[in-house]
Amino acid sequence: MNKTDISNIHRTNKIYWDENGNEFLGAIVLPYYGCNTLTENELNLFGDVAGKKLLDIGWGNGESLEYHGNNKAAELWGIYISKNQIDKAAKCLSESGYAAKLICGAMEDECGLPTDYFYFIYSIYAIGWTTDLQGTFNRVASYLKKDGMFIFSWSHHIHMCMAFEEGKAFFKNNYFDKTWSERDFDEKNFYFAPGKYQLT
C-alpha cells in the first residue's frame, strides 16, 4: 500500500470518527471485549492495575480509560486518530475525576509515545483499523516494559463476509479478499479491509 492510499484511508476514517464517534458500540468498552464475548470480570486478563501505567489504542469515548481509573491505574494514556474523540474522552474522564494524556494520531505512526514505559497496552476493538499490523505491533512492543502485557480484541473476519436474508445465511464477500475498500455504515463512509487480518 502506498503513502497516498494510507493517507486517504486515514483521512476518511478520521472524518468518520470525528463526526460519529462510537456511541453505537457500547459492547466494546471494558469490561466488555466485544459482542457475545466473555468480559474482563470473567477473564481477568488485566488483574490488578493499581499503580500501573496504561496505554489505550483507539479509546472510543474514554469509558475503558475510566474503567482503569476506577481500578486505580497510576497513569492513563491513549492514542486515537480522531481529535473529536479526544474531547469526548477528556470530558468523560474529567466528569469522573480522572485525566489522561491523549494523543491524536494513527496507531501505526510515530506519535512521541515513551518507550519501555507501559505495563499494559490494550486495544478493545480498534487494532483492526491499522494500515500496518506488523508495524503497529512493533511500536506496541517498543512502548511496553519488559514484563508488560498487550491485550487486544477484534472480531473474526467471518462476520464481515456473512449476510442474512429471509432466514438464510450466505457469503456476501470473499473470505480471502484482503484489499481495503470504502464501506458504508448508516450512510457514512469509512475504509475497512475485511480480510486484512483474518484468521486462517
In a domain, 112, yes or no: yes
Hey, what's the torsion of the CAs at 113, 116, 118, 121, to 10 degrees?
80
Judge whether 73 lies within some domain. yes
Range of the structural domain that residue 41 is part of: 26-155
- Is residue 9 situated within a structural domain? no
| 130 assigned to some structural domain | yes
pLDDT value at position 125? 86
Beta pairing partners, 57:
79
Evaluate whether residue 106 is within a structural domain: yes
Block means of pLDDT (10 residues each) for the chain, 200 residues, are 71 64 65 87 97 95 96 97 90 96 95 97 90 93 97 78 83 72 53 45
Quote the number of domains for the chain: 1
> What pLDDT, on a 0 to 100 scale, did the predictor assign at position 164?
82
Instruction: Flag whether the pTM goes above 0.85.
Output: no
Within-domain flag for 168? no
The pLDDT of residue 159 is 63
Dihedral sign, Cα of residue 33, residue 39, residue 42, residue 44: positive
Cα 21 vs. chain centroid, distance in angstroms? 12
| 29 and 124 Cβ atoms separated by less than 8 Å | yes
Q: Would you say residue 199 lies in a domain?
A: no
CATH of the domain at 35: 3.40.50.150
At CA 78, angle to CA 109 and CA 145, rounded to 5? 80
Residue 200: inside a domain: no
Given this model, what pLDDT does residue 148 score? Answer: 97
